Every structure is written in structure tokens, then in C-alpha cells.
């Protein structure tokens, strides 16, 4: 069964059309139900499609020669949204010409345009950027917010938990995802009053939300595999994400340097190559590429700007799964359990707004 087509901002990212089209073609080879609306410079897209006949027949081109640069301010991007490849891809979702949009362009601009065009869902104040991080467990961990909102209040964190749990059910098939708030310690007295308040609310609403909530987790346990959803504000989340990515690159570079330091080390590398290749695959950010803006009336996925074709293909696969599993409808249903404002359980528990 074919899915609604996916609008791809073909001009975004470090390598633009070549990588975005190659990534869409790779995704199409893996899943022939994917169809695309490729948005960008028509002549360049057609030239790229000549190398990927499997994609040509499953795609339509929407021309735009206007591109949002990586250093452009969101306010500037908003003024040009209707003529840019990024803005036109998002507007295709708004009009129903596409079921979802993928872009590797400017994150701030993407957030601003998507929020203005698609609006937030009822019961959600702010969208959050969520991504999957690799773990030692059987499934990835959903982490949000990763940069869309640098400052958050208690209400935002609770809403992020609702959205993250809905996303986690899609990727883990766990009926009651294990949700934790990121904090400087796991004790109940640790952290800001805001965090402690959010923890109390989530603990009170855990049964209604079908989540398993047991307070806080620390940054060094993000990838242990004993939690399914980690919730934080966008400032802390972005720092934590980049620390994880930087550590992964450090480990990979350290191993590479160690194995090339002597003949004995090179011999050791040959013996351990299967294990190191597995490690390389697990740490490769392209294999976990595709962050989603949760909380919008439509699906928008952010690919890393420096992603390879394989990374873009993974972002497309994430997008397709969100469409397939109706994640927006799942979030709506979860919000309905706790009232239209998403915080009714707080008043029921006797707390003040």
C-alpha cells in the first residue's frame, strides 16, 4: 500500500540536491511504496534524477530557485517562506499535496516556518524537536526537546512527555514507555523547582497517560537502554545531544589512532575488525538521522545538514513510519486523556496552576 507522498526540500543541507535526491532514491529502493514531491531547482533535480530512474517515476518536481541559507535568521526566512524550497515543502503538507516534509536546511528557519504554516495541535503550546539516540538496550531512546525551545516551563515539559511517549510507542512497540526527566541527579530533591513540579505532575498522571514514570535520569545514563523517553528543555537537550555525538566521534577517532600506532596494533585491528565495524555502525549518526518536530498539525522531519545519502534515506524512513503509525492522532488521543489543556490532572491532584 502506498503512503502519502513525502515532500523533500531538495536544496537543503551541506550538499543540497545531489545528496537529497540520492537519499530519496535509496529510500525508494528499500521501500517501493514511497512517493515524493521534490522541491527545488527543477533543472538540477532533473539532472540528479537521471542517475536514479527508480525514483523518477515515483516523484513530481515542484520548482523553486529560492533557498534559505544556513545562517539566515528565522525572521528573515519567514518573510520569504512562500518562495523558498523549504517553505514550499512545508506548505505542501498544509495544503494536503504531501503527507509530510523532510528538510536538511536551517533548523531555526524550519521550526519557524513549520509552526506558522501548520500551527500547533490543540493542547500543545510549543512543538518540540525529538530524535532517536542509540542505546545498549533493545531499542533507541526518544529524546526531546533538542533545541526548538531554549526555555520551558512545567507545562511544556509535561506536554513534551506526552508527545515523546506517543513517538516511543511507534518505535519501541512498548505500551507504557519508560519516561524520565533529565536532571543533575536522580534524587527527588535534585534540580530546579520547575523540574520537581513536572515530575510530580507526571507521576500523578502516569496511569492516565499509559507511561512508566519514575522521576529523573542523568546525562551519563542516556544511552544505557533502561529508559525509552528522556524529556528536557531545548537548551539542555541540545548540549546533551552534541556531547553524545562528540563523544562518539572521539571514541571512533581514538580507536582509529590506536590501531594505526604500530604494526602490532594494525594486526590487532585485523583480528578485531568485525567488532570495530559493528561499533562504527552503531555510532554513525547517519544511522539515527531524522529528528521530528512533534506537536504540529502535520509531520516535519529535520535531517542533519551534513548527512550522507544513507542518512537522508534514514530520515525518509523515519518520516514514513510516523505517517504509517499516525503519530499525530496518537498524541491527540493521549492529550484527550488528561483534558484539553493537558494539565487537568494537576488541578485534580490539588496543585495550583
* Alpha-carbon gap, residue 131 to 232, rounded angstroms: 13
Q: What is the pLDDT of residue 204?
A: 87
93-130 pLDDT, tens per residue? 999 999 999 999 898 899 999 999 999 998 899 999 99
Confidence of residue 177 (pLDDT cuts 50, 70, 90): very high
pLDDT in tens, 251-274: 777 777 776 777 766 666 566 656
Q: Where are the domains of the chain?
A: 1-118, 120-295+308-353
Instruction: Check: CB of residue 49 under 8 Å from CB of residue 55.
Output: yes
Centre a 10 Å sphere on the Cβ of residue 81 and count the other Cβ atoms it contains: 20
Angstrom distance (rounded) from CA 161 to CA 156: 9
Among 83-87, 279-283, 302-306, which stretch is predicted with the lowest mean pLDDT? 279-283
pLDDT level of residue 234 (50, 70, 90 thresholds): very high
For 41-67, the pLDDT digits (tens) are 999 999 999 999 889 889 999 999 899
pLDDT digits over 10-25, tens only? 998 888 899 999 999 9
Q: What's residue 2's pLDDT?
A: 64
Fold (topology level) of 1-118: Isopropylmalate Dehydrogenase (3.40.718)
At residue 140, the pLDDT reads 87
Q: What is the pLDDT of residues 122-173, one digit of tens each?
A: 889 999 999 988 888 888 899 999 988 888 999 999 999 999 999 998 888 8
* CATH number among 3.40.449.10, 3.30.465.10, 3.10.20.600, 3.40.718.10, domain 120-295+308-353: 3.40.718.10
First to last CA, the chain: 47
| Range in 165-174, 200-209, 230-239, 262-271 the model is least confident about | 262-271
Mean of all residue pLDDT scores within the chain: 85
Amino acid at each position: 500500500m502506498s503512503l502519502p507522498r513525502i515532500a523533500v526540500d531538495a536544496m537543503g543541507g551541506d550538499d543540497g540536491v545531489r545528496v537529497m535526491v540520492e537519499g530519496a532514491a535509496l529510500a525508494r529502493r528499500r521501500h517501493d511504496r514511497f512517493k515524493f514531491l521534490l522541491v527545488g531547482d527543477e533543472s538540477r533535480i532533473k539532472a540528479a534524477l537521471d542517475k536514479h530512474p527508480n525514483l523518477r517515476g515515483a516523484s513530481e518536481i515542484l520548482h523553486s530557485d529560492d533557498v534559505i541559507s544556513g545562517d539566515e535568521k528565522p525572521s528573515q526566512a519567514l518573510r520569504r517562506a512562500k518562495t523558498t524550497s523549504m517553505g514550499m515543502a512545508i506548505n505542501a503538507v498544509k495544503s494536503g499535496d504531501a503527507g509530510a516534509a523532510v528538510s536538511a536546511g536551517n533548523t531555526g528557519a524550519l521550526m519557524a516556518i513549520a509552526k506558522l504554516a501548520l500551527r500547533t495541535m490543540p493542547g500543545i503550546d510549543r512543538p518540540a524537536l525529538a530524535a532517536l539516540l542509540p542505546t545498549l538496550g533493545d531499542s533507541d531512546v526518544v529524546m526531546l526537546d533538542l533545541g526548538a525551545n531554549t526555555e520551558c516551563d512545567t507545562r511544556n515539559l509535561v506536554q513534551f512527555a506526552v508527545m515523546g511517549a506517543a513517538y516511543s510507542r511507534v518505535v519501541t512497540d512498548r505500551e507504557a514507555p519508560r519516561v524520565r526527566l533529565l536532571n543533575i541527579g536522580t534524587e527527588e530533591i535534585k534540580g530546579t523547582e520547575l523540574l520537581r513540579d513536572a515530575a510530580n505532575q507526571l507521576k500523578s498522571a502516569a496511569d492516565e497517560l499509559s507511561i512508566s514514570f519514575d522521576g529523573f535520569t542523568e546525562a551519563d545514563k542516556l544511552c544505557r537502554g533502561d529508559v525509552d523517553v528522556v524529556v528536557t528543555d531545548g537548551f539542555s537537550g541540545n548540549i546533551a545531544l552534541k556531547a553524545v555525538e562528540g563523544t562518539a566521534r572521539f571514541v571512533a577517532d581514538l580507536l582509529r589512532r590506536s590501531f594505526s600506532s604500530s604494526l602490532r596494533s594494525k594486526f590487532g585491528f585485523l583480528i578485531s575488525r568485525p567488532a570495530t565495524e559493528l561499533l562504527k555502525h552503531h555510532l554513525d549518526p547517519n544511522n539515527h538521522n531524522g529528528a521530528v518536530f512533534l506537536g504540529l498539525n502535520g509531520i516535519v522531519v529535520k535531517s542533519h545538514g551534513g548527512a550522507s545519502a544513507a542518512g537522508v534515506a534514514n530520515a525518509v524512513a523515519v518520516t514514513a513510519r510516523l505517517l504509517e503509525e499516525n503519530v499525530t492522532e496518537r498524541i491527540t488521543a493521549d492529550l484527550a486523556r488528561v483534558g484539553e489543556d493537558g494539565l487537568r490532572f494537576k488541578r485534580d491532584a490539588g496543585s495550583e496552576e
